[in-house]
Structure 1
Amino acid sequence: MRQFTAVVNPTAGGSAGAATLLRLARLLREAGAPLETEYSLSLAHARDLARRAGERGRVVLAVGGDGIAGGIGGALSGTGTVLGLVPAGRGNDFARALGLPDDPAALAGILLHGEPRRVDTLEVESAAHPRTVVLGSVYAGVDALANRHANRSRLLRGAASYYAGGLRAVAAWRPADYRVTLDGREHAHRGYTVVAANSPYYGSGRLIAPAARVDDGLLDAVLIREAPRRLFFALMNELRTGAHVHRPEVRVLRGRELRVEASRPVPCGADGEVEAVLPVTVRVRPGDLAVLY
């Protein structure tokens, strides 16, 4: 029988997140699976808790949103420890990419009886973060600013907070000149953003990279070039379905290593939590993490 350690972000999901964890814990214990719960004080603390649990041979459950999922997933990448996700945060985009259910009973069945499957992770290098490993996506430009606004929102949650953050960010954004180098080949780009996607989703269900797969050993680089603001607002709406990739203003490239630089300081983010400024380098680590899904 698997033994579980749940590492919880106590600020994610509010009462709904707590209720999900309580139901899941009851189901796991009724099935005879030992479960211990650890509450993190910070993302660094969550990583440490996860590593220590993994060293004891336990399956680590990341309870919260994309920040704690990416932080713990990155900490366990390459260690052999098995990760389970309990989506209870604002975005839950990596859990969405894995097709994980919201229902605690269905999720408990996967955690108890599912076979671990290998997924890719992303290694990120920047001046602020010499080496960080994340799960879902790295984004440089207006979406990093939008995510910052969403995380600081006190009135809105979920997709509404990201949409409002996006509107606020776009209204003040000036297009930047980027130098994008993918697998050694340079691409000039002037526009709003560059996204390195391991997962199709970001920003609470926005389908930024519809063809991205978590287990193909590649990242999808999505480049959105300069356009009138009214067109960019239309693009934001099309992110719900992925239709934006058919517009001439959007370019999608695929590769294993991406470096993004800019002519001025441009914010960069990853998995909802990591904040930095360009330049940044992103590398795929193929099949480096075992996940239950």
Structure 2
Amino acid sequence: SAIDALVNGNTRTLDVIRVQLMRDGKSVTRHSLLFVAAGFAAEVIRKTGPRVKRIFGRRFSYSVGFFRALASFRAPEFSVKWDSGEKAGRMFQVCAGNTEFAAGGVMRISPGARPDDGLLNISLVGALGQLGIVRRFPSILSGRYVEDDRVDYFASKRLEIDAVPPAELQADGDIIGTTPATVELLPGALRLVVHDQFQV
């Protein structure tokens, strides 16, 4: 119980993602625990509204949103910089993950990510056509998509994202604004009292 955790639990610290980006023409700062993504992941959120969630439930609603997003999404021209490199070009998705799973635990978006290691797990997915996206859907759910030769997957503490046209970003399932954006990790910024069986 919560009382047991307070009395007998352990203190754990978790990393927090800080994002500086644009919203309504102004620079704003937002925070996230799980992940931040620009590109297709934001379009999926746009297509996974309350009605879709109500009809299909948490387990299937994001899969429905995934296929609805296929019809409208066009990969932007991204410019991305991180601790040790940079890359530019059309990309399907840019993601910075603090934990492995997203979409209510359905999608393993950042394999191997831990919320207490002081690092973001970055995935840059090259531009894909609709058929290519559909063919890779199972691997996107399982996390094996990072093995694809069109995907760069690495760790960094900081990520700068720009795009033409400006790309929306989502954090933990909510649209939070648009590029340009700077994503940084705040190591150990959140302190929790947890049950002794708590795992990260």
Distance 1:111 1:223, change over 3 A: farther
CA distance in 2 between counterparts of 1:114 and 1:265 reads: 45
Question: Cα–Cα, structure 1 residues 151 and 110, in superposed 2: closer, same or farther, change >3 Å?
Answer: farther
Q: Distance in 1 between matches of 2:124 and 2:7?
A: 40
Fraction of identical pairs, as percent = 28
SS where residue 233 of structure 1 aligns?
helix
CA distance in 1, matches of 2:175, 2:8: 33
Q: Which residue of 2 aligns with 1:159?
A: 59
Which of the residues 68, 91, 96 maps onto 1:168? 68
Counterpart of 1:61? none
Aligned partner of 1:117 among 8, 12, 27: 12
> Does 2:47 match 1:149?
yes
1:204-256 Cα distance to aligned partner (Å, 9 max, x none)? 22001102111111101111111232221232221232111111121112111
Counterpart of 1:132 (choices 30, 38, 42) is 30
**Structure 1 runs not aligned, ≥5 long:** 1-26, 34-108
Shift of 1:161: 0.7
Q: 1:12-31 to 2 correspondence within 5 Å?
A: 28=2
Amino acid aligned to 2:9: G
Q: Describe the SS at the equivalent of 2:145.
A: helix
- Which among 83, 86, 93 is matched to residue 183 of structure 1? 83
Aligned to 2:120: 219
Q: CA RMSD of the aligned region, Å?
A: 1.8
Q: Contact 2:79 / 2:163 at 8 angstroms: preserved in 1?
A: yes
Shift of 1:110: 4.8
Choose 1 or 2 for highest CA Rg. 1
Paired residues for 1:1-293 under 5 Å: 28=2, 33=3, 110=5, 113-128=8-23, 130-152=28-50, 153=52, 154-183=54-83, 185-205=85-105, 206-291=107-192, 292=194, 293=198
SS at match of 1:156: helix
SS in 1 for 2:44: helix
Report the Cα offset of residue 180 of structure 1: 0.4
What is the distance in 1 between the residues matched to 2:79 and 2:161? 6
Q: Secondary structure at the match of 2:187?
A: strand
1:230–1:113 CA distance, 2 compared to 1 (3 A): farther
Aligned counterparts of 2:15 and 2:135: Cα–Cα separation in 1 = 31
- C-alpha spacing 1:194/1:133, structure 2 compared with 1 (3 Å): same
Check 1:184–1:231 CA distance in 2 against 1; reply closer, same or farther (3 A cut).
same
Q: What is the one-letter code of the residue matched to 1:160? A: F
Q: Given residue 265 of structure 1, which amino acid in structure 2 is its aligned partner?
A: P
Unaligned residue ranges in structure 2 (runs of 5+): none
> Match for residue 83 of structure 1?
none
Figure out how many residues of one structure are paired with residues of the other and give that number: 188
Q: Distance in 2 between matches of 1:274 and 1:173?
A: 15
Answer whether contact 1:224 1:251 (CA < 8 A) is retained: yes
| Partners of 1:147 and 1:203 within 8 A in 2 | no
Name the structure, 1 or 2, with higher relative contact order (CA <8 Å, separation 6+). Answer: 2
Quick one: distance in 1 between partners of 2:144 and 2:7? 37
In the alignment, the residues of structure 1 paired with residue 58 and residue 180 of structure 2 have an alpha-carbon distance, to the nearest angstrom, of: 29
Which range moves more in the overlay, 151-160 or 195-204?
A: 151-160
Which range moves more in the overlay, 198-207 or 184-193? 184-193
CA shift digits 1:133-154 (9 cap, x unpaired): 2111001011111012223324
